[in-house]
Chain A
Amino acid sequence: MARTTDPWRTLTDPLIRQNPVTLQILGICSALAVTTTLATAVTMSVALTVVLTLAAGLVSAIRRHIPDTIRLIVQIVIVASLVIVIDQVLQAYFAEISRALSVYVGLITTNCLVLGRTEAYARHHAPLPAMIDAFGNGLGYSLVLVFVGAVREFFGKGELFGATVLPLVDEGGWFTPLSLMLLAPSAFFLLGLLVWALRSVLPEQSEAPEHTPPLRTEPAE
């Protein structure tokens, strides 16, 4: 964690350089599950950013009063209450999208991104920087979600936000949709390639090899 107090750095660092999804391995579950269309991806991003920012603010505000031993439970209860509110709001005003997101809104509760940030940052900082950090991480997460969502919807259905961009073959156009894009594996491939692309641009992020082959005991024939 960068020990910087400059709010602008706190806000912009998680966008690319410390991106929560591609570098910190946080919040991946929902990042992949809800990205078949752009609309659900954007809804999820907004919901997560709101929950994350408010949770960080709240946890940071009462950080001196939480006993260390039960802090996880306290943090989860705060997050869960916020998620219930968001879930009810979505069900009331965006019923269609809420159905498409199914259990994944509830799963924001256990999204490691939320707990990771409250645990790693909000617990040690004043409310304002904590909220800025949370908002920045929420934006970084949203960037990845919107990118993957846009690619999958564009190539999978030829649409963006449900509006036709590439005319489909079935409807007299020329574009044959890649239905693989709408299935689970494509999300993994896209994210893997995105990580690769990012690390080619920023080589300091690449990891050391995890395993080395055992040394040969006999010379080869």
Chain B
Amino acid sequence: MTGLGALFLSAAFVDNMPLTLFLGLCTFLALSRSPEAALGLGVAMTGVLGVTVPLNHLVYTYLLAPDAWAWAGLPEIDLSYLSLIAFIGVIAASVQLLEMLLDRFLPAIHAAFGVFLPLLTVQCAILAGSLFMVERSYTLAQSAVFGLGSGAGFALAVAMLGSIRTRLAYADLPAGLRGLGIAFVLTGLMSLGFAAFAQMAAAE
């Protein structure tokens, strides 16, 4: 149990997707103009990552991994080179499904967060979650925790950046630095802060 808890914390803080691994930055920067939008994006990310990483784990282990077809008498079939297409397909399908389910059963949540869902199909952080899952050979439980953890880390980071950017109203920035420029610098400062978590993990 402690193993899973530690994995959740490490996925959320030490390997924070946008701040230490540079993943999902496009949406991270584009949608952090206001804290509300940022929070919506974060919640949507957590949901989608928590669903797709374990799903892709199942797809990989039972369909694509080198020994997956041994039970059918075809031990030499190795489909792992197809994983990229398979993962993207799973992600696109589950995002679509999630959007339809939310629309049908929880229209209030859909109205608040629904606009971000289609964007998440092409979010690098989501695909990367699945790719890391294969690279580090997690079990099913581990991949679910890893997905939720990295989603939570992303939500935390994007909500923080959104709040900081609101406070920029009080800062008199040079014209060229406004918007994207200062967002990069802020992200860099936050990334410095998160580097401390990596030090804590290394010190243990």
Q: Give the nearest-CB partner of B165 in chain A.
A: A210
Q: How far is the CA of A81 from the CA of B121 in the complex (A)?
A: 17
Q: How far is the CA of A210 from the CA of B185 in the complex (A)?
A: 16
Within 8 A of A (CB), among B57-116: 81-82, 84-85, 88-89, 92
Judged by a CB distance under 8 angstroms, whether A28 is at the interface is: yes
- Judge whether B184 and A33 touch: CB under 8 Å: no
- Judge whether B181 and A103 touch: CB under 8 Å: no
- Judge whether A196 and B29 touch: CB under 8 Å: no
* 21 CB-based A-B contacts, threshold 8 Å: A25-B29, A29-B25, A72-B118, A76-B92, A77-B88, A102-B135, A103-B128, A107-B23, A107-B128, A184-B22, A187-B22, A191-B184, A192-B180, A192-B181, A192-B188, A193-B181, A195-B176, A195-B177, A195-B180, A195-B184, A212-B169
Task: In the complex, identify which listed stretch (B2-10, B140-148, B189-197) lies at the interface while the others stay far away.
Answer: B189-197
- Judge whether A32 and B30 touch: CB under 8 Å: no
Q: How far is the CA of A193 from the CA of B30 in the complex (A)?
A: 18
Q: How far is the CA of A213 from the CA of B170 in the complex (A)?
A: 6
Within 8 A of B (CB), among A73-121: 73, 76-77, 80-81, 83-84, 87-88, 102-103, 106-107, 109-112, 115
- Judge whether A196 and B131 touch: CB under 8 Å: no
- Chain A's interface: helix, strand, loop or mixed, by majority? helix
Count of A-B contacts judged by CB separation below 8 Å: 156
- Judge whether B85 and A80 touch: CB under 8 Å: yes
Please tell me which one of the listed residues B25, B125, B132 contacts residue A28 in the complex, with CB atoms under 8 A apart.
B25
Q: How far is the CA of A185 from the CA of B191 in the complex (A)?
A: 5
- Chain B's interface: helix, strand, loop or mixed, by majority? helix
A interface vs B, CB < 8 Å? 22-23, 25-30, 32-33, 72-73, 76-77, 80-81, 83-84, 87-88, 102-103, 106-107, 109-112, 115, 183-189, 191-193, 195-200, 203, 205-213
- Judge whether B165 and A80 touch: CB under 8 Å: no
- Judge whether B188 and A110 touch: CB under 8 Å: no
Please tell me which one of the listed residues A29, A188, A203, A209 contacts residue B191 in the complex, with CB atoms under 8 A apart.
A188
Judged by a CB distance under 8 angstroms, whether B153 is at the interface is: no
Q: What 9 A-B pairs come out closest when comparing CB atoms?
A: A192-B184, A188-B188, A207-B179, A199-B176, A211-B169, A33-B22, A192-B185, A195-B181, A206-B175
- Judge whether A80 and B84 touch: CB under 8 Å: yes
For the complex with contacts A81-B85, A185-B195, 9 further pairs of A-B residues with Cβ separation under 8 Å are A28-B26, A76-B92, A87-B84, A107-B128, A110-B122, A110-B126, A188-B185, A192-B183, A195-B177
